[in-house]
A and B are shown apart, each in its own frame.
Chain A
């Protein structure tokens, strides 16, 4: 849980630096939060010895967020649709849907022997809040099973 709180704080700072409005900051924060939970629970199977990496690439026109776990990966197309009537009252299964709803792009890349990386992209619309070039900020922490 501590890792999630730290990640939330970092996301807020990066989003503020990128110039996102409060509502967009909240959406990005939620998308990262859900991705981190998936990485810890489903990717790393709550194994505290495994790591989750969080990296931010800030470009002039977009913010890219990379969340990497040490798990075996998953097939996005196999994730059930939480809006289907038979799934509407399920307790879980909305994380990926929320991530997709809140971000402009969402990709999953599996690196055999290394882990799975989820890449979240949010476009920066205003030229006022862009930063030329790009900057990387990386945070890596141990899993904290909940």
Chain B
């Protein structure tokens, strides 16, 4: 199953509901272009909902980091929502939980951008 992304706006935040696999190739390319497009349109508050993401490889992790850096460099914020246990474990062992702002409640996550 390849990656799917649905973007919706809640207040000043663009919530991206991701599902499927974020892996080397199509999944990573899609995510890269999606964040690039949002930034190009001036959307700098991005919340990635990873609740339905079934698999992330090291390239996918790299893409999350790349997105985080790109958004931060433009003065914005990229945060993560609803990590599955597998993704949580991956970010834990790679120490990236110390980098990303992670939430498990969408309303609170939205409020944190204010």
- Residues of A at the B interface (CB closer than 8 Å) are 1, 4, 26, 30, 33-34, 37, 82-83, 88-92, 94-95, 97-98, 101, 146
9 pairs, CB–CB < 8 Å, chain A vs chain B:
A1-B25, A4-B23, A89-B69, A90-B62, A92-B62, A95-B58, A97-B94, A98-B94, A101-B93
With A82-B94, A89-B69 as contacts: A94 and B58 at CB distance below 8 Å:
yes
Taking residues whose C-beta sits less than 8 angstroms from the other chain, chain B's interface range is: 20 to 34
A98 close to B58 (CB less than 8 A): yes
Chain A residue numbers with a CB within 8 Å of B66 are 91
Residues of B within 8 A of A94 (CB): 58, 61-62, 94
Nearest residue, chain B, Cβ from A29: B55
Choose among A30, A83, A91 the residue that contacts B62 (Cβ–Cβ < 8 A): A91
Set of chain A residues within 8 Å of B57, measured between Cβ atoms: 30, 33-34, 37
Determine if B65 is an interface residue (Cβ-Cβ < 8 Å): yes
Nearest chain A CB to B63's CB is how many angstroms away? 7
Interface membership of chain B positions 59-99, coded 1 if the CB is closer than 8 angstroms to chain A and 0 otherwise: 10111011011000000000000000010001001111011
Q: Shortest CB–CB separation between residue A143 and chain B, in angstroms?
A: 13
Across-interface contacts of B23 in A (CB, < 8 A)? 4, 33
Minimum CB–CB distance for B53 against chain A, Å: 13
- Residues of B near A89 (CB, < 8 A) are 65, 68-69, 99
The residue on B at minimum CB distance from A144 is: B25
Which of B27-73 touch A at CB < 8 Å? 57-59, 61-63, 65-66, 68-69
Closest Cβ neighbor of B72 among chain A residues: A89
Contact of B63 (CB < 8 Å), options: A30, A83, A91, A98: A91
Contact partner, A146, options B24, B61, B86, Cβ 8 Å:
B24
Q: Nearest Cβ in chain A — how far from B72, in angstroms?
A: 9
In the complex the two chains form, is B61's CB within 8 Å of A83's CB?
no
Q: Chain A contacts of B61 at CB under 8 A? A: 94
Contact among B58, B63, B99 with A88 in the assembled complex (CB-CB below 8 Å): B99
B37: min CB distance to chain A, Å: 19
CA distance A13 to B65 in the complex (A): 32
